[in-house]
Structures are given as structure tokens and as C-alpha cells.
Chains A and B, each alone.
Chain A
Amino acid sequence: MTKQKTLQEAVASIQDGSLLALGGNALHRSPLSFVRELVRQGKKELSVIKTAGALDIDLLALAKSIRSVYAGYIGFEMLGLAQNYRKGVQNEEIIVHEHACASVIAGLRASIYGVPFQPINGFQGSELPELTGLVRNVTCPFTNKETAVVEALRPDITVIHVSIADEKGNAYIDGAAFEDLIMVKAAARVIITAEKIIDSTEWKVTPQVPGFLVETVVLAEKGAAPGSCGSLYSIDEDEVTRYLQDPESYLEKVKGVASHV
């Protein structure tokens, strides 16, 4: 039986208030078609796990779809700050679960190993732990050494965008995998959007995501645009710049266009 659905059907299955993990990193291979459909369907009170977010988080912030963020970094790197996220936090509409990229990953890793927390190195002294309580110290039972630990992060739904998937949910990521493979294993449900969907007898490369972990597959060509997608396409800097200069128009355009997939 095929796991393929339309983008609208897949997004319709997301409850308001869900905890989502979004794959990709900054403007690279983020599931942006999915995010735009979340906005179109007017989802509310979402919480999002992301190592480094950019247009995905900022657009959800602009659309008032987001309640809280677990992330290490939200911004457009050299292109500037994520202004709508920034305003949302400053207006206390968005709760920040203050992380570093590495501690987000550690929390997800705890989930994939089925343990309640994950020890982590490199958080001795930053104010992140003491202010936020997200990184805490325990005494190692073997060495008696103080060790920082991060609580398990278990997304309700992980959404990643890939180059190729098949109808059974097997999926192939071209280039850097970022945290996608960990996010897939950590979540209760997994939705994959793909540039291309092939028949499961047609694989010429080896998929990294096994289909049994995946609930739904969606065809979404240019699904990471205006960000990049591996070797398929680069960042559309003009489009990102247009967003940064006039996010409201971008949002109106997103809402006005019925998705075609």
C-alpha cells in the first residue's frame, strides 16, 4: 500500500499544538513547502525543534503559528536576523527553549536510544544551562565526574525534505544529512516531502531512511526553495532577500496560492 498523500492531506493531519521537528539546516533542505502549507491551513500553537532555523521559523512566527521553539540558532546567517522571530520573542508571544545546536541534537539522541537524557560535553560555563534548566548536571556513577545532561526531545512529528523517496517511505538525502536521520528515529510520526517519488523497484542509490519509520510521503518539487537542496538547487538569494525586505507580502502570497501538489 502506498504511503503517498498530497501536501494538503499530510498537513491536515497535524494537530494544533503539536511538537514538530523540522529537518535541514538554516536555508538548506528545510521542508519549506510543508511549512508554507502549515501557514495556509492556519495551524496554531505549534512548537518546533530545529538545530538552526531561518525562513521556516521566521515565516511561522510571522503567521502567528508558533508557540515555542527548541533551537540552537534562528537567523539568516550572513543575510541578517530573523526579524519576525525576534519580534515574536521580544513581544513574549514565542517561548524560547534556549539551546545550542549540539544540545538539541543530544536531546534527540536520547530519544533514539530510548533513554530519558543524554550526557553532553561543552556546556561547562555558558549561561545557557543555569538560566534555562535545559542542560543540567549529574554526577557520573562511574567516575563521580560532574556531567552535563540534556532531557530527551521527542517530537510528535518529524518532517524532513529529501531528494528522492519511494511509495513505501524509503528516502535518499543527497549531500549533508544534518540532523534528519536522528530526527526521523526520534519522532512518534514521520512525514517526508520529496523532490521526486520513484517506484520502490527503481532505486539506483541506497536510501538512508528506511520506509518502516515513515508514515507519509509527499511529492513536493522545489520543496526546500528558496533555500537549497543538496546538489539539486542552491539558495535563491533574490527571493530570500525579497522576503527579508517585505515578509508581509511574502506571507500574503503564500496564503493566496493554493498549493498545487
Chain B
Amino acid sequence: MANETEKMIVAAARLLPADGAVFVGTGMPLLASVLALNTHAPDLLLVYEGGGVGGKPTGRLPIQVSESLTYENGVTVGSMDYVMSLAQAGWIQYGFLGGAQIDQYGNLNTTVIGDWEKPKVRLPGSGGGADLASLCEKTIVIIGQDRKKFVKELDFLTSPGYFTGPGEREKAGLPANTGPYRVITQLGVYGFDKETKKMTLLHLFEGHTLEEVQENSSFPIAISKDWTYVTKPTDEELTTLRSLDPDGVVIA
């Protein structure tokens, strides 16, 4: 039986394409990407923010993204400048993001809670978020869902989603056909409506309800008329995932 975190990681791994480049951050994204690499996507190129390109770590999970394990069996190891400029030049298709707050258009805040000048809580900051959210073709957000995180209005817009709706990214000068692709929470998997660019439930994790989806959000979430339950993790997915994190650093 998979736990919540395992289900979310498996759902994230399945979103990754068989090949192409994915920009990988710490924690669940790293595990999801390495899981994809070891299941359906052996040719996926993992680009780690610390500088490793094409790393295929074996054995235990690299806890933090710039650890030497992230370039094990890799193509090259450069600098953060090297990998971030790959994104700036448009070479990265997929990227993972997280945040303290998200709004209905997939805009994210990782900077402050409260006012920027006099913050109530100072958060870590953009890191690579602002530019990756701007430049990756498809970003996947992994975030816990509750009313404090799913907010009507962000305290600070660190990493752009669709701003205030359709056409706004293009207006801001961001590359066409880029933006948030999926949001994965403990309750389900969300996409963004083609017309409105608003967050829409696509899949629900079994054991949860449509009511919970709404109760745990401060903005209204549309429900796709074709919504389904997330397919349960297979034995292969779970076994592989647990072998990557035998100490349960992330999944326990």
C-alpha cells in the first residue's frame, strides 16, 4: 500500500516524457525524475540545478541537488550558470516547482508571507523558480494542499504561472506555449483549462472526495467533466521507488 508521498511521486514520474530534458530540484522532484528514468523513461535527460547533466544515480537518493551523486554516470558536470543558461536558451522542456502559496492561475510564491518590506515570514526566495517557471515548456508543481497554500491572492509573485489568465504570459514577453502543466497535491492532479487557464481537477487520489478538493482551497477549483481517479502505483513503480530511497528520507 503506497503512502501519500509515494502516490504523489509516482504521479509526477508518470508525467515525464520518455525523452527530453527535465530540470530537477531537491526532494520529491528528484525522486520522481529518477523513478521515471528507471521505469518508462530511460532516455530522459536529468539536468540538476547544481550543474550535473544526464546523471543517472544508482543506489541511494542524492539528498540535495548539488551532491556529487547527481552527476554519477552523467554526461557532464558544469556550473549552475551552465544549466540555468540551458533553460534561458530554451533547451529545457520540463521543470519542477514548489512553493508556499499558489493561486488559481498557477502563480507561485516562495519569497515572503506578508509584506515584502516587513515580512511576517521570510521564505528561502526564488532560487531557480522565477526563471524556470518563465522558460520551461511545461512545469509541474508539487505542493501540499490546504486553504493557506491555495490562496486567492499571493503575498508575492515569485514564479509566474498564467498571471491573470489567457494571453498574459505572452503579453509579459514570456515564450509562447510555456507555463504550468500540472499541479500535484495529496488530493489529486490538476491541469489548467485551455480557455480560462484556471486550475482544474483532472484526477483524484482514491480515498479522497471532490468536496475535499474544494474545502482545501481558497479559490474555486473547476472539476473536469472527464475526471478520473489516479491509477494506483504498480508493484514495479513502488519497488523501484523504495529502492531509490531505502532510508525513507523523502517517502517515509
Contacts and interface: CB of A to CB of B under 8 A. Distances in A.
Contacts of B129: 100
A126 B159 CA distance: 6
B79 A181 contact: yes
B122 A89 contact: yes
Contacts of A85: 122
A175 B68 contact: yes
**Interface of A, helix, strand, loop or mixed by DSSP:** mixed
Interface string A125-146: 1111001000000000000001
B122 to A, nearest CB: 4
B134 A122 contact: yes
Contacts of A146: 173
Given A124-B172, A125-B160, A98 B125 contact: yes
A82 B124 CA distance: 8
B80 interface: yes
Q: How large is the interface on B (under 10, 10 to 19, 20 to 34, 35 or more residues)?
A: 35 or more
B87 A128 contact: no
A99 B125 contact: yes
B123 interface: yes
Interface residues of A, number: 53
B67 A28 contact: yes
A123 interface: yes
Interface string A77-115: 110011001100110100010111110010001000000
B233 to A, nearest CB: 22
A206 interface: no
B79 A235 contact: no
A175 B70 CA distance: 10
Contact of B125 (A72, A78, A182): A72
Given A77-B27, A98-B126, A228-B68, 13 more contacts: A26-B64, A28-B67, A90-B121, A98-B111, A102-B88, A105-B84, A125-B174, A127-B116, A128-B126, A128-B158, A176-B79, A178-B80, A180-B79
30 contacts: A25-B50, A25-B80, A27-B64, A28-B50, A28-B67, A72-B128, A75-B123, A77-B64, A77-B65, A78-B27, A82-B124, A85-B122, A89-B122, A92-B118, A98-B116, A100-B129, A100-B130, A105-B80, A105-B84, A127-B111, A127-B157, A127-B158, A128-B126, A128-B130, A146-B173, A178-B66, A179-B79, A228-B67, A230-B68, A237-B63
